[in-house]
């Protein structure tokens, strides 16, 4: 299934349209930019976008791995039947009008389930944004790529139950230069759901390093937890679970029943299985980026050094790092005497050589690199928050590769913040491309660094199947 879902050799697009405004046209256009052989299907048209068109799935000259259905819900059962007949492995009905609309739609879904039962045909969706694989070259998304920018290839996999939220995640990732290994819009999850995708993306040979999910419900809670448990510590799972305030139907006869709100239970259980929970879409992308790029910290790492060029940033960053109420509750590192002495040689005479290091407005790219190197060498520093003020007169774009160079050299987690810069994309893409997670906000940078430093403990506390002696007696 997963090969045909993410790397199909052949794709049929049913409902391909000559009209550039129709989603059947948009999807065809995106598919043609990719690597799969594409078969447009339309009852009458003969050529669309300069491609030969086939009148039906049955008329295709070869079996296809994937069929995208850009036709209304009512037509879907018959088309899925044809997919089963032709041995299509993955069929993606894009249309809404299924279980999300009510009983009639649910009935339609039951019919689809019955049609594929026992066959090799699997369904993604219905009511889904589709699949994107920038590494292989596959784009079935119906949102035009001139309106929804696609992220480049990378190691973050994104799975979303909602199409709109999925689109938000993709455009955020694209604008920050976060590379994606796969995006799957799961839609109504009639068949393919998060647990199976987690397993597939978790295989060692898959290029995915981190999996970020947006869910409003669990298709199968225990299966999802089990899949996540297998990945803990190897490929982090980051979850944005919405629907937190939905009222539970638990009978409240005892104290326990009245206190066990559904979201509180979710919170404890996610922690138990090593799943990193986040609370908004930016945090989801930010955390995936951080965990995908940063090297593993030393055990117990929590002492952070800040290198900045502005006093105000140093004050705010220190608050965010140390505060337990409006911050992440990590520690500001104290530098050794040797580190201070070396900083004094590097920095202007009026700059601060304590943590946070403030290079002042006199900061140059060379000075920044030297200061960063000095603090990274201090054994009392576990990680560095590097805030680079690109607007300063002596600071040039060469500082970006310099930061990445020093980060790589010491293997300690380094997260960069670039705030208020004129070019809101290129510097981020550059640094992220060089392996340093980089954010346009001080707070988001600190929050992401905290995830890097804390994730290993979360993963380590997860029970491996082997160390669970307790079985039902």
Query: Which positions touch another protein (CB under 8 A)?
Result: 217-218, 221-222, 225, 248-260, 262, 264-269, 271-273, 461, 463, 467-468, 470-473
Query: Taking a C-beta distance cutoff of 8 angstroms, is the pair 138, 7 a contact?
Result: yes
Give the H or E element holding residue 457.
helix 442-460
Q: How far is the CB of 411 from another protein (least distance, A)?
A: 29
Q: How far is the CB of 103 from another protein (least distance, A)?
A: 21
Query: Taking a C-beta distance cutoff of 8 angstroms, is the pair 345, 317 a contact?
Result: no
Q: How far is the CB of 281 from another protein (least distance, A)?
A: 23
Determine the Cα–Cα distance for residues 172 and 402; give it in Å rounded to an integer: 25
Nearer to another protein, 226 or 377 (CB): 226
Q: How many helices (H) and strands (E) does the chain have?
A: 16, 20
Nearer to another protein, 157 or 266 (CB): 266
Nearer to another protein, 264 or 323 (CB): 264
Q: How far is the CB of 241 from another protein (least distance, A)?
A: 11
Nearer to another protein, 147 or 468 (CB): 468
Q: How far is the CB of 104 from another protein (least distance, A)?
A: 25
State the virtual CA torsion across 190, 195, 197, 200 in degrees, nearest 10: -140
Query: Taking a C-beta distance cutoff of 8 angstroms, is the pair 66, 11 a contact?
Result: yes
Other CB atoms within a 10 A radius of the CB of residue 331 amount to 13
Nearer to another protein, 265 or 341 (CB): 265
Q: How far is the CB of 276 from another protein (least distance, A)?
A: 15
Determine the Cα–Cα distance for residues 340 and 45; give it in Å rounded to an integer: 74
Nearer to another protein, 86 or 302 (CB): 302
Task: Report the candidate in 39, 48, 47 with the shortest Cα–Cα distance to residue 13.
Answer: 39
Nearer to another protein, 341 or 463 (CB): 463
Q: How far is the CB of 226 from another protein (least distance, A)?
A: 11
360 φ/ψ sector (left φ>0, alpha ψ -120 to 50, else beta): left
Query: Taking a C-beta distance cutoff of 8 angstroms, is the pair 397, 421 a contact?
Result: no
Q: Which residue has the tokens 């790219």?
A: 365
Determine the Cα–Cα distance for residues 37 and 35; give it in Å rounded to an integer: 7
As given in the structure block, the two tokens for residue 131 are 């699949």
């Amino acid at each position: 299934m997963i090969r045909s879902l993410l790397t199909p050799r052949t794709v049929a697009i049913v409902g391909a349209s000559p009209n550039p405004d129709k989603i059947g046209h948009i999807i065809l256009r995106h598919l043609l930019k990719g690597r799969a052989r594409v078969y447009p299907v339309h009852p009458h048209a003969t050529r669309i976008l300069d491609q030969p068109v086939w009148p039906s799935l049955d008329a295709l000259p070869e079996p296809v791995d994937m069929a995208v259905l850009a036709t209304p819900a009512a037509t879907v059962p018959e088309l899925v039947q044809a997919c089963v007949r032709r041995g299509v492995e993955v069929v993606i009905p894009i249309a809404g009008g299924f279980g999300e609309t009510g009983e009639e739609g649910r009935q339609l879904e039951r019919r689809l389930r019955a049609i594929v039962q026992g066959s090799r045909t699997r369904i993604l969706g219905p009511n889904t944004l589709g699949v994107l694989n920038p590494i292989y070259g596959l784009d079935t998304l119906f949102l035009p790529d001139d309106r929804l920018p696609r992220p480049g290839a990378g190691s973050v996999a994104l799975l979303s139950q909602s199409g709109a939220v999925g689109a938000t995640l993709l455009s955020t990732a694209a604008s920050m230069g976060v590379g994606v290994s796969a995006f799957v819009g799961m839609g109504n999850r009639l068949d393919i759901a998060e647990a199976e995708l987690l397993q597939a993306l978790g295989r060692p040979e898959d290029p995915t390093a981190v999996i970020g999910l947006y869910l409003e419900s669990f298709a199968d809670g225990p299966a999802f937890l089990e899949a996540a448990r297998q990945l803990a510590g190897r490929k982090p799972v980051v979850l944005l679970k919405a629907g937190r305030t939905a009222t539970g139907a638990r009978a409240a006869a005892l104290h326990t029943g009245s206190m066990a709100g559904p979201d509180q239970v979710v919170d404890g259980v996610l922690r138990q299985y090593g799943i990193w929970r986040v609370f908004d879409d930016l945090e989801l992308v930010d955390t995936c980026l951080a965990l995908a790029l940063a090297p593993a910290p030393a055990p117990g790492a929590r002492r952070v050094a800040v290198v900045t060029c502005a006093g105000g940033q140093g004050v705010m960053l220190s608050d965010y790092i140390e505060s337990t109420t409006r911050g992440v509750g990590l520690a500001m590192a104290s530098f050794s005497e040797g580190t201070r002495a070396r900083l004094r040689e590097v920095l202007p005479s009026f700059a601060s050589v304590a943590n946070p290091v403030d290079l002042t407005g006199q900061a140059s790219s060379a000075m920044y690199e030297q200061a960063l190197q000095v603090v990274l060498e201090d054994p009392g520093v576990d990680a560095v928050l590097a805030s680079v003020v690109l607007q300063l007169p002596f600071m040039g774009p060469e500082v970006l590769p310099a930061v990445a160079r020093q980060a790589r050299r010491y293997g300690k987690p380094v997260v960069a913040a670039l705030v208020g810069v004129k070019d809101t994309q290129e510097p981020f893409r550059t640094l992220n491309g060089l392996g340093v997670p980089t954010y346009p906000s001080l707070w988001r940078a600190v929050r992401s660094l905290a995830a890097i430093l804390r994730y290993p403990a979360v993963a380590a506390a997860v029970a491996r199947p082997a160390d669970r002696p307790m079985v039902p007696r």
